[in-house]
Amino acid sequence: MSADQAKSSGRFVPSRRQFLIGGAVAGVGAAAAVGADLVLNRSSSPEAAAALNGAEIVPFYGRHQAGIADAAQAHATFIALDLLPETDRDALRRLMSILTGDAARLTQGVKALADSEPELAVVPARLTVTFGFGPEFVSRAGGNAPTWLRPLPPFSIDKLDPAFTDGDLLLQIAADDPLTVAHATRMLLKDTRSFATVRWTQAGFRRAYGSERPGTTMRNLFGQVDGTTNAQPGTEEFDRIVWAERGWLAGGTSLVLRRIRMDLDKWDRLDRGGREQSVGRTLANGAPLTGTDEFDEPDFEAKTSIGFPVIPEFSHVRRSRPDDERQRIFRRGYNYDERPAGESVSESGLLFASFQADVDAQFVPIQQRLADLDLLNEWTTPIGSAVFAVPPGCSEGGYIGETLLG
């Protein structure tokens, strides 16, 4: 949609109802139309507008969906929907067309088609909307499901709550502004009302825009630098890890979302040295215990003067290290921190989100190794788990899911 179209769709048409309520409706209508233009061009100079992060836009259309290779925004809400019994293949096509249209609009700072609060749509703040399909969605679409599109195998460490597990259709809605996320979430969920119900919603955060230098690896609520070994988007390595190559999923990927509760009270009882041993990295800057810089390669052979490995066998960095080159994933997780219940002073953790071309070949072996032995399991518990096939992007005029439903 062009900027001109956006402006013209923002025009105000007085309805019969307004005349019934009374008041200077015609005058108000004109003022509102002028106001909308002011809002859409709120800065007095183009330079000032360009300088606002709120005005930053991530392109919606493309070979891949947005929200995967883009630098993680400060806020994300993940929503899983359950399809209504009557939502068949045709309905799925209608649903994805409607959602695609509104996602394309909202991410560009344009109001949704039936936007009830259009003034909240004018701050995109790098908004992205990413869709994923669960097994039931693919089955109703009549498509071939990848073999990995099913609940993860049960791990001994799991204490899964159905309230945070599985789902038919996923929306990942992410932006640097929490009001933008709230508005987009509401507009998109309204689109889904005749097709599906909300199964779960999980909201997370990272450092705000402007808090740190761009590119700083995130810290989780344990204070750990989290995500150092991620491949860099734009590299061949990243493409190999993330993008699927075959069938309707070509140019797509998979999303594994695990809700990992972190027991901060118990973590508090561990001293700093113990924490660094459990991870295998320093807390200060995330360097491996054998190095000085965050991005130094860990030396698993190094021994202390009394013969112990410097990086313990049971440390997270050692256990999560791939056995073979294919076991790589791309992480794009968020912290969560919610109203605690009872005597606890926090209910906190990590929305572990990873993208990979093949869940079974890339994610499962790592998770299995960590479930078998990882000192961090003492302080963390997976309480939610979901797997989605993330279809490729689309061009203007197309819709997300068209390679499956078209």
Which one is catalytic: 168, 176, 177, 226?
A: 226
- Which CB, 52 or 250, lies closer to a copy of itself? 52
Residue 203 or 241 having the CB closest to a copy of itself: 203
User: In terms of DSSP H, where are the helices of 75-224?
Assistant: 89-107, 135-140, 178-192
Residue closer to a copy of itself (CB basis): 193 or 246: 193
Q: How far apart are CA 41 and CA 325, in angstroms?
A: 49
Nearer to a copy of itself, 247 or 340 (CB): 340
Structure tokens at 41: 């061009």
Kindly state the tokens that stand for 216.
Answer: 């700083």
CB of 325 to a copy of itself, least distance (A): 28
Residues 6+ apart with CB under 8 A from 278: 270, 312, 314, 315, 316, 375, 376, 378, 379
CA gap 183, 181 in Å, rounded: 6
The type of residue at 136 is E
Q: Is 239 a catalytic residue?
A: no
Rounded least distance, CB 345 to a copy of itself, Å: 4
- Nearest distance from residue 263's CB to a copy of itself, in Å? 12
In this complex, which beta carbon is closest to a copy of itself, that of residue 249 or of residue 287?
287
Distance in angstroms (rounded) separating the CA atoms of residues 117 and 185: 12
Beta bridge partners of 390: 253
Q: How far is the CB of 34 from a copy of itself (least distance, A)?
A: 7
For residue 96, the minimal CB distance to a copy of itself (Å) is 18
What minimum distance in Å lies between the beta carbon of 293 and a copy of itself? Answer: 10
Residue 79 has which token pair?
A: 């929503």
DSSP 168-188: SEEEEEEES-HHHHHHHHHHH
Q: Give whichever of 31 and 250 is closer to a copy of itself, judged by the CB atom.
A: 31
Alpha helices (runs of H) in 108-171, residue ranges in sequence order: 135-140
> By C-alpha distance, which of 250, 257, 240 is closest to 326?
240
Rounded to an integer, what distance in angstroms lies between the CA atom of residue 247 and that of residue 231? Answer: 25
Whose Cβ is closer to a copy of itself: residue 203's or residue 405's?
203
CB of 144 to a copy of itself, least distance (A): 32
Count Cα atoms within 13 angstroms, Cβ side, for 180. Answer: 29
Are the C-beta atoms of 400 and 393 separated by less than 8 Å? yes
Largest interatomic CA distance in the chain: 87
Q: How far is the CB of 66 from a copy of itself (least distance, A)?
A: 19
Instruction: Report the distance separating Cα 239 and Cα 255, nearest Å.
Output: 15
End-to-end CA distance of the chain: 22
Both tokens assigned to 365: 């072996």
Q: Are 354 and 331 in contact (CB under 8 A)?
A: yes
Taking a C-beta distance cutoff of 8 angstroms, is the pair 329, 354 a contact? yes
Q: Say which DSSP state 6 is in.
A: H
Catalytic residues: 226
